[in-house]
């Protein structure tokens, strides 16, 4: 804590108070984790990243208001306006089964006629609707896959590091084997194998991404635990006869987990990328499911005329890029904070 | 050195076993009837015939027996003909391509290899050069541009990047077409006069002295090459840069400077060779990620390589074909990882001596 000279000046007092308040947070997180937090909040790039992520969270939460569903029971089905294959331009009016018009629309557009704001794609799927509700899909899949891979990775990595020796050796060879196949190919295969068994939904792709996604976390947490295992307080706990599981879960993991946790939370962007890639290839969800990869895959049949139908690529593509970029900006700043050598000034 | 290589070689059977078990495990999600495509071309409709095939190939036997059968196949008692057996290169029949999976791979792989070579070589050479420049002129133009590019670039999914390229360079400007080769060139390639030395179209056309066909093939490949490699540029640059920065701070570099060597020699003769050690590993990894990347890139550009075939088969749920590709990829990657590790030991004495 910084030394402050007592004085009657009010501003100085307030600053001191502020320092104390952050100090509590610092005590809670520990000095190293606190440094990571502060570093993240001070980099301009990561602030832009946080803002982007925030905007997408708002879009996801407000999806029913921004793009009201035609069938409220099944909002993830992109509404269709006819069945003709040729995309309709931006701003063309709805002709059949018009969805309810949201309250924000009339003041901005000056009319209460609901149009295809970003046009329709092949099969008259509304692009705007797909993007808005696709945000929810992105967060859902991202969260499920990240949490699952994180937990599996933590358990396997900490068991491996804590027991060491032959257990460690076997587990690490299994990790090598899982890493042998390229990630996207392995996930593609497993999703294709699972789809006929459990039906078309989000789950084949989610299970596939989890199955081939945990190895990174296992490796990172293993390394962190190996270094913490040697600290004196672990030795002390062992000497007084604390059980293995208690040492692992109460003393080692809480001290080793923070960097992995932050990395995991940023992996949500990458997961969405892989998921979109799978559904772009036509694996996983039903045709017409509100998912960015799905919306983009409609463009595959129109590559010769993308100069006319550019909006079926540019808008969903831009959404995906901004989403991933939000997470990447924060992630890049994080790498700098974690690795002081990479800082610009050295 | 020798003990290191032997130890590393001992790992190969283990990895082979692991990967085959992994793929075999995924096969178990199929019904016995679907799995019979591993051994027979046409699965009969008749129920008795299906039951016969399942019995004949032991598709209802315990798992370890099935695994063994999958590895070595089944030799017919009368004709002596071997059916199945991945060890003998029989990966079963592809329903979607109506040919044996191995033939499909044999037809498609040269195209993928052609693309990969053109996507890897320039990246490694130019990427390393740029990385050294970025480190020597730290925070200079190349350095800053690379940083920006790698943040923006890593946020671009391959298929979005590919589609945007198609929109710009094909639909709007008509410069670079998708596909493999133009029709007129295709007719030339299939005549007897055109000798197939390597099966790699760009190299064959050069060896045949047909520059027009070489240019046509390259024109079709340019967009896939860029799509496949745009991420590697920044990665190579950044890894080379940080490794080079670290090396430049070492004492022996200071010594070299202190004894009055020209800066060129200090950088290119003393610092760079040592800074290349992590880059060798990265080159190995980039082969792995490229083989994954071809799945999407080839699909976007309709380029007839193994990635496109795998994606098509997967989209039509033709699992036998997809798993065949997985096996093939697994073998290639195990071998290339081995090569990388040995190379790594050659360039870095610390690895082979530890």
Give residue limits of the domains in chain B: 2-94, 99-353
- Chain centre distance of CA A295: 19
Taking CB atoms and an 8 Å cutoff, what residues of chain A touch B315? Answer: 192, 281-283
Q: Which of A269, A277, A310 minimises the CB distance to B296?
A: A277
Strand-pair category, B93-94 with A115-116? unpaired
pLDDT in tens, B148-165: 777 777 778 888 888 888
Cα of B195 to nearest chain A Cα, Å: 33
> Is the pLDDT confidence value at B172 over 90?
no
Q: Considering chain B, what is the average pLDDT of its residues?
A: 79
Taking CB atoms and an 8 Å cutoff, what residues of chain B touch A324? Answer: 154-155, 157
Detail the DSSP E strand segments found in chain A: 92-93, 115-116
Cα of A244 to nearest chain B Cα, Å: 30
Closest-CA residue in chain A for B166?
A303
pLDDT score recorded for residue B274:
81
Distance CA A32, CA B105 (A): 52
**Residues pairing with B99 in the sheet:** B94
Lowest mean pLDDT, pick from A165-174, B123-132, B165-174: B165-174
Cα of A277 to nearest chain B Cα, Å: 7
> Is the pLDDT confidence value at B312 over 50?
yes
pLDDT score recorded for residue A11:
57
pLDDT score recorded for residue A343:
42
- Please tell us whether the domain made up of B99-353 is placed in CATH 1.10.3720.10: yes
> Which segments of chain B does DSSP mark as H helices, in order?
2-27, 32-35, 47-56, 63-72, 101-136, 141-155, 158-165, 183-189, 201-207, 211-248, 251-258, 263-265, 272-275, 277-301, 306-315, 319-347, 349-353
Percent of chain B past pLDDT 70, that is, above it, reads 94
Lowest mean pLDDT, pick from A126-130, B44-48, B155-159, B341-345: B44-48
* Domains of chain A from N-terminus onward: 44-342 (1.10.3720.10)
The verdict on a CB contact (< 8 Å) between B300 and A300 is: yes
pLDDT score recorded for residue A149:
92
A117 and A99 Cβ atoms separated by less than 8 Å: no
Note the ipTM here: 0.80
pLDDT score recorded for residue A210:
92
Provide the residue-wise pLDDT of chain A in tens; the chain has 346 residues.
444 445 455 555 555 555 555 566 676 766 667 777 777 777 777 888 889 999 999 988 887 877 777 777 788 787 777 777 777 777 777 777 777 777 777 777 767 777 777 777 777 788 888 888 889 888 989 999 999 999 999 889 888 888 888 988 889 888 888 888 888 888 888 888 888 888 788 888 899 999 998 888 888 888 888 888 888 888 888 899 888 888 888 888 887 777 777 778 778 888 888 888 888 888 877 787 888 888 888 887 777 777 777 888 888 888 998 998 888 888 777 777 766 544 433 3
- Mutation to test the A interface, candidates B156, B314, B333, most A Cβ within 10 Å: B314
Chain A with chain B: Cβ pairs closer than 8 A:
158
Taking CB atoms and an 8 Å cutoff, what residues of chain A touch B292? Answer: 182-185
The answer to whether residue B329 neighbours chain A at the CB level (below 8 Å) is yes
pLDDT score recorded for residue A1:
43
pLDDT score recorded for residue A13:
53
The verdict on a CB contact (< 8 Å) between B172 and A325 is: no
The verdict on a CB contact (< 8 Å) between A182 and B26 is: no
The answer to whether residue B14 neighbours chain A at the CB level (below 8 Å) is yes
Three-class secondary structure of residue A282 per DSSP: coil
Closest-CA residue in chain B for A188?
B314
Q: Which of A185, A193, A346 minimises the CB distance to B310?
A: A185
- The predicted model scores a pTM of 0.81
Three-class secondary structure of residue B102 per DSSP: helix
Percent of chain B past pLDDT 90, that is, above it, reads 0
The answer to whether residue B157 neighbours chain A at the CB level (below 8 Å) is yes
Residues whose CB is less than 8 angstroms from the CB of residue B158 and which lie 6 or more positions away in sequence, other chains included: A277, B227, B228, B231, B293, B296, B297, B300
pLDDT in tens, B196-234: 777 777 777 777 777 777 787 788 888 888 888 877 777
Torsion of CA A218, A223, A228, A234, to 10 degrees: 60
pLDDT score recorded for residue A2:
47
């Amino acid at each position: 804590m910084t030394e402050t000279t007592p004085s009657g000046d009010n501003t100085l007092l307030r600053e001191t108070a502020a320092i104390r308040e952050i100090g509590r947070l610092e005590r809670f997180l520990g000095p190293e984790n606190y440094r990571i937090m502060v570093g993240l909040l001070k980099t301009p790039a990561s602030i832009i990243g946080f803002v982007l992520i925030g905007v997408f969270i708002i879009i996801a939460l407000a999806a029913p208001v921004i793009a009201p569903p035609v069938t409220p029971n099944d909002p993830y089905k992109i509404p269709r306006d006819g069945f003709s294959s040729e995309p309709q331009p931006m701003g063309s009016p709805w002709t059949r089964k018009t969805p309810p018009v949201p309250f924000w629309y009339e003041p901005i557009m000056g009319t209460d006629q609901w149009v295809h704001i970003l046009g329709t794609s092949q099969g008259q799927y509304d692009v705007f609707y797909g993007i808005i509700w696709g945000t929810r899909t992105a967060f859902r899949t991202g969260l499920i896959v990240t949490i699952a891979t994180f937990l599996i990775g933590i358990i396997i990595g900490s068991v491996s590091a804590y027991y060491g020796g032959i257990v460690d050796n076997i587990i690490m060879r299994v990790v090598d084997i899982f890493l042998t196949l390229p990630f996207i190919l392995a996930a593609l295969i497993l999703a294709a194998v699972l789809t006929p068994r459990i039906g078309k939904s989000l789950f084949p792709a989610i299970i596939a991404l989890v199955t081939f996604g945990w190895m990174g976390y296992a490796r990172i947490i293993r390394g962190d635990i190996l270094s913490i295992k040697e600290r004196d307080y672990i030795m002390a706990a062992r000497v007084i006869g604390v059980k293995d599981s208690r040492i692992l879960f109460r003393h080692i993991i809480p001290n080793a987990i923070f960097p992995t946790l932050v990395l995991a939370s940023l992996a949500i962007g990458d997961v969405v990328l892989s998921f979109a890639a799978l559904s772009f290839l036509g694996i996983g969800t039903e045709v017409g499911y509100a998912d960015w990869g799905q919306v983009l895959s409609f463009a595959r049949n129109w590559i010769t005329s993308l100069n006319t139908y550019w909006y079926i690529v540019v808008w969903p593509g831009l959404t995906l890029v901004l989403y991933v970029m939000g997470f990447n900006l924060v992630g890049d700043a994080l790498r700098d904070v974690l690795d002081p050598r990479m800082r610009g000034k050295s | 050195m020798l003990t290191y290589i032997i130890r590393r070689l001992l790992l190969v059977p283990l990895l082979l076993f692991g990967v085959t078990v992994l793929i075999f495990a995924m096969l178990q999600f199929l019904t016995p009837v679907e799995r019979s495509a591993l051994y027979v071309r046409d699965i009969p409709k008749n129920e008795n015939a299906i039951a016969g095939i399942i019995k004949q190939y032991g598709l209802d036997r315990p798992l370890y027996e099935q695994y063994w059968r999958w590895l070595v196949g089944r030799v017919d008692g009368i004709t002596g003909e071997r059916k199945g057996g991945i060890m003998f290169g029989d990966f079963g029949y592809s329903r979607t391509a109506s040919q044996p999976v191995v033939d499909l791979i044999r037809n498609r792989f040269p195209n993928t290899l052609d693309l990969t070579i053109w996507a890897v070589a320039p990246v490694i050479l130019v990427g390393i050069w740029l990385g050294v420049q970025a480190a020597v002129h730290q925070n200079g133009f190349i350095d800053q541009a690379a940083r920006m590019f790698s943040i923006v670039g890593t946020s671009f999914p391959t298929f979005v990047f590919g589609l945007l390229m198609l929109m710009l360079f094909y639909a709007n400007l008509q410069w670079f077409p998708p596909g493999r080769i133009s029709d007129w060139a295709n007719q030339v390639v299939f005549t007897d006069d055109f000798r197939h030395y390597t099966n790699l179209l760009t190299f064959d056309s050069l060896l045949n002295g047909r520059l027009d066909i070489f240019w046509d093939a390259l024109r079709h490949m340019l967009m896939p090459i860029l799509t496949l490699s745009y991420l590697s540029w920044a990665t190579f640059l950044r890894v080379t840069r940080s490794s080079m920065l670290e090396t430049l701070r070492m004492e022996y570099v200071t010594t070299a400077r202190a004894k009055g060597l020209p800066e060129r020699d200090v950088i290119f003769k003393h610092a760079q060779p040592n800074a290349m050690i992590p880059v060798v590993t990265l080159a190995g990894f980039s082969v792995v990620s490229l083989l994954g990347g071809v799945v999407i890139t080839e699909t976007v550009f309709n380029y007839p390589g193994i990635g496109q075939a795998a994606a098509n088969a997967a989209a039509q749920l033709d699992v036998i074909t997809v798993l065949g590709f997985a096996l093939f990829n697994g073998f290639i990657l195990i071998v290339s990882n081995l090569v990388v590790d040995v190379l790594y030991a050659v360039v870095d004495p610390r690895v082979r001596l530890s």
